[in-house]
Structure 1
Amino acid sequence: MKNVLSTLCTVLLLTGCEMTTSSVGYYSYGLEPIPGSITYGGQPRTKLTKAPVGSIVPHQFIGPFGRRVYETYVIQPDRSLRLVSRRYRDFLLFDDDDDD
């Protein structure tokens, strides 16, 4: 019983880590914006008229629970942004970067 319980806990922990730290594929559909995302609450009011269609727009911000979030957007033909990737970095408390 003890062995089964420890195996179950390990599986749950690994599954949770994979869901929060893995990068989503480049052509990922259904990735929803979170607070801090450029498209959270709708598309930005300004259109990106000078950037070519298909251009990549990187964005980083401090997300839920104080984690650094890196997102990637692609400019669509109608000049809207499509969120295609999101990655998380460890908690800022343990972050060595001082570039903020």
Structure 2
Amino acid sequence: MRHILLAILFTLTACANAEGPQPLSGSLTYGGKVVHSPYRPGTVVKNTFLGQFGYRVFETYVVQPDGTLKLTSQSTGPDFLWQ
């Protein structure tokens, strides 16, 4: 029973994110901004900024044929490393 509930949860999560990552405040394309890149189509552009609660947000964009940026990946991590 527990495995069935987990499978349903993962399926619903995958459906909710089917459209890809959403821009956060601090993203290059947040709020519907259209950013044109001088780079060739297919070039990968990386962006990093400090997000909510002190977490570092890492984003990857790909330059589209019309020169705009498309957010393809987004992840978060701590903004520091313990020694």
In structure 2, list runs of 5 or more residues that go unmatched. 1-5
Larger Rg: 1
Identity over aligned pairs, percent:
37
Aligned to 1:40: 30
Alpha-carbon separation, structure 2, partners of 1:85 and 1:40: 14
Alpha-carbon separation, structure 2, partners of 1:56 and 1:30: 16
Task: Give the superposed CA RMSD.
Answer: 2.5
1:52 deviation in Å? 1.0
Higher normalized strand content (fraction of residues) = 2
1:38 deviation in Å? 0.5
Alpha-carbon separation, structure 2, partners of 1:55 and 1:87: 19
Contact 1:29 1:84 in 2 (8 A): no
In structure 1, list runs of 5 or more residues that go unmatched. 1-10, 20-27
Alpha-carbon separation, structure 2, partners of 1:81 and 1:74: 6
**Number of residue-to-residue matches in the alignment:** 68
Alpha-carbon separation, structure 2, partners of 1:29 and 1:71: 16
Moved over 4 A (4+): none
TM-score (norm 1): 0.58
Structure 2 residue matching 1:65: 3-state secondary structure: helix
Aligned to 1:89: 77
